[in-house]
């Protein structure tokens, strides 16, 4: 080999030491790429949400917080929600408009709170049962044509938002009274608090109904402005202190036999999000739907026990006579609205078609669970919890 060829070989061929050093560096970089997922190092996207519930000891605000945490966890912290309590930015009645205008990105409330804008709003929460619980009403929303009708009524009232639902609430109690009421005559003329279409139903029964925010119920009953009231469940009711103004608590009622939370999200804000974040906002509602229901069953049961044992509250099942009259009230209210509001009638007809089919199966297939319970624990009314 000539001297020139030896020189060229030294230039073109790297040394073994340099080769292995370069290979080691390349391998380390590749390993780091495999070990570390793609991480968004930019600031997380934060949306502002106001709930219709006070912070602190309030299970509904807690459930809103559960949804917020799920969104953060599912997005790996890329998407966050700044949850504010009732009144932090706007009044409860203004949440829908605030979300629509962009003052808020999101809200957390129930459709009955905008019932005054269109009575059909109440059908997406506190409507007639037709045998359905909240679970089936949510099924109608997603698989029975309800969502399209919901979007139509949202547009009709001028709201500019996308809505998701979670937490299929158990049937709400008839509420708190000064005595045990078993007959329709016991409640006729009574000043009573509720919201949504239930106001029309109980007015048809002869009650004098007043719509009051949750925080005003207990003081109003204490001062005599109202004589009886309902809010939602044993936990919320005890947090309001209803046991201090009444010792007679009547459970399950048809005036509001189902309801669920509505999460309105400003349409422009939602459409501007990454598709994966849109999916997270939607699917976190489904996740919270299940989690909140499981939580509610335990907490409501525990707090009912406290009401009975610690606070000496008398707990009753609402009588069949009152329940039957409530159903007659619903028949009248639905009939009256159907005559004057074609859209209302369209929603009702859709719900009826779904209930007739789905509840036929459920009611025929469902065994008598009370029979199984009493076989183990004895007479339901006498069981101590």
Which parts of the chain register pLDDT below 50? 2-41
- Give the neighbor-by-neighbor strand order of the sheet with 259-266: 79-84, 45-51, 106-108, 259-266, 161-169
Quote the pLDDT of residue 24.
44
Whole-angstrom distance, CA of residue 233 vs CA of residue 170:
8
Contacts of 77 (CB under 8 A, 6+ apart): 44
Task: Tell which residue, 151, 142, 144, 159, has the closest CA to residue 283.
Answer: 142
Q: For 113, phi and psi rounded to 5 degrees?
A: -75, -10
Q: Which domains does the chain have, with CATH numbers?
A: 45-169+259-297 (3.40.190.170), 172-255+312-339 (3.40.190.10)
Task: Look at residues 103, 73, 101, 75 and name the one whose alpha carbon lies nearest to residue 88.
Answer: 103
pLDDT at 42: 60
Q: Strand pairing of 79-84 and 228-229? A: unpaired
The residue among 327, 292, 256 whose CA lies nearest residue 112 is 256
Task: Dump pLDDT digits (tens) for 98-138.
Answer: 999 999 999 999 999 998 999 999 999 889 999 999 999 99
- Nearest CA among 124, 120, 119 for reference residue 109: 124
The pLDDT of residue 1 is 53
How far apart CA 149 and CA 157 sit, in angstroms, is 13
Residue 167 · residue 289 · CB < 8 Å: yes
Strand order through the sheet with 314-316: 208-210, 191-193, 228-229, 173-177, 248-252, 314-316
pLDDT at 43: 76
Of the CA atoms within 13 Å of residue 169, those in its CB half-sphere come to 28
Q: Encoding tokens for residue 349?
A: 């007809």
**What are 169-187's pLDDT values in tens digits?**
999 999 999 999 999 999 9
CA–CA dist 240, 53 (Å, integer): 12
């Amino acid at each position: 080999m000539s001297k020139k060829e030896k020189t060229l070989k030294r230039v073109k061929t790297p040394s073994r030491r340099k080769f292995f050093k370069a290979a080691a560096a390349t391998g380390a970089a590749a390993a780091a790429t495999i070990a570390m997922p793609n991480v968004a190092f930019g600031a997380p996207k934060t949306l502002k949400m106001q709930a219709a519930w006070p912070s602190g000891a309030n299970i509904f605000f807690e459930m809103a917080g559960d949804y917020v945490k799920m969104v953060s966890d599912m997005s790996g912290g890329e998407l966050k929600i700044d949850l504010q309590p009732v009144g932090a930015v706007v009044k409860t009645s203004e949440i829908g408009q605030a979300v629509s205008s962009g003052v808020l990105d999101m809200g957390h409330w129930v459709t009955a709170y905008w019932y005054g804008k269109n009575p059909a709003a109440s059908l997406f929460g506190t409507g007639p049962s037709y045998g359905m619980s909240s679970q089936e009403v949510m099924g109608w929303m997603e698989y029975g044509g309800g969502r399209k009708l919901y979007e139509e009524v949202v547009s009709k009232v001028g709201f500019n938002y996308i809505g998701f639902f979670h937490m299929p609430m158990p049937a709400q109690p008839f509420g708190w009274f000064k005595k045990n009421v078993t007959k329709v005559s016991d409640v006729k003329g009574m000043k009573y608090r509720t919201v949504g279409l239930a106001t029309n139903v109980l007015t048809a029964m002869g009650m004098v109904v007043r719509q009051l925010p949750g925080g005003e119920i207990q003081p109003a009953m204490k001062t005599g402005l109202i004589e009886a009231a309902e809010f939602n469940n044993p936990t919320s009711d005890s947090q309001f202190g209803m046991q201090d103004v009444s010792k007679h608590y009547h459970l399950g009622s048809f005036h509001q036999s189902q309801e669920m939370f509505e999460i309105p999200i400003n349409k422009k804000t939602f459409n501007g999000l990454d598709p994966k974040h849109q999916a997270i906002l939607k699917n976190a509602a489904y996740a919270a739907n299940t989690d909140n229901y499981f939580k509610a069953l335990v907490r409501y049961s525990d707090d009912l026990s406290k009401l009975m044992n610690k606070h000496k509250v008398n707990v009753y099942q609402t009588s069949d006579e009152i329940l039957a009259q409530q159903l007659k009230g619903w028949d009248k209210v639905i009939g009256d609205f159907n005559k004057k509001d074609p859209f209302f009638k369209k929603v009702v007809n859709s719900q009826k078609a779904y209930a007739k089919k789905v509840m036929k199966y459920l009611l025929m297939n469902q065994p008598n669970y009370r029979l199984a319970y009493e076989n183990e624990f004895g007479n339901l009314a006498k069981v101590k919890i």
